[in-house]
Amino acid sequence: MLYSNAYDSKQNNTMILIGNGKVTATPDIALLRLGVQTTGENLMTAQSDNARLSQAVLLGLNNMGVTDIKTYQYTIDKLYDYVNGNRIDRGYSVRNIFEIRMTSMDQVGSVIDAAVNNGANVVDLIEFEVSNSDAYYIQALNLAVMNAYQKAKSIAMNLRLKMEPIPVKITENPRGPIPFQQLSAIGERAFTTPIEPGNKQIEASVTAEFIY
């Protein structure tokens, strides 16, 4: 609850309205999850191949000046096929995914290409974030409050009400998820991969109660 004022609902008429606010922000952080997946009939061979390629990917990223890297996921899975109801052993899958955070937005495509050129064959996520998103959200929230108030004033004017609507209760509505761009696989590239972060729409919503 953002604002509340005591009142006697029996002595006043009320109106309850939804207010919405939206601001546009330019992302300044890129979050990448990429890595290496290898398969083989022998687990040690699949692990060894994965470790070799993963080290090459890390070296290539470090050579580009990318340092904010951590292991996000490392999994070993047994592979099976079923033929005529019979389970057939197909070996193992080893997956090593790194999480990369970077602020050089114009280098995102080059970083992906460098990882691919050094052995990466999986891109799980490309997400763009706004570092000071709370400040933008507060702006959107204020716009949402004003939007609800403007609606109340418009209704009061059209109904020729003598009393201007007074806000007595304003409740912040739950925030929705911010969509992100996601890729699941990558292939060979002859040119630098174009990655465009675009803009983020940060939205807020309130439920406002007015008396008149």
pLDDT in tens, the chain (212 residues): 444 444 444 557 899 999 999 999 999 999 999 999 999 999 999 999 999 999 999 999 999 999 999 999 999 999 998 888 888 899 999 999 999 999 999 999 999 999 999 999 999 999 999 999 999 999 999 999 999 999 999 999 999 988 889 999 999 999 865 544 443 334 444 457 777 788 889 999 999 999 98
Domain 3-26+132-211 architecture: 2-Layer Sandwich (3.30)
Listed in sequence order, the residues at least 6 apart from 23 whose beta carbon sits closer than 8 Å to its beta carbon are 136, 139, 140, 143, 201, 202
- Angstrom CA distances, 42 to 7, 79, 129, 205, stand at 75, 11, 40, 55
Q: What is the CATH number of domain 29-129?
A: 3.30.70.2970
Rounded to whole angstroms, how far apart are CA atoms 15 and 210? 5
Domain ranges of the chain: 3-26+132-211, 29-129
Domains 3-26+132-211 and 29-129 share a fold: no
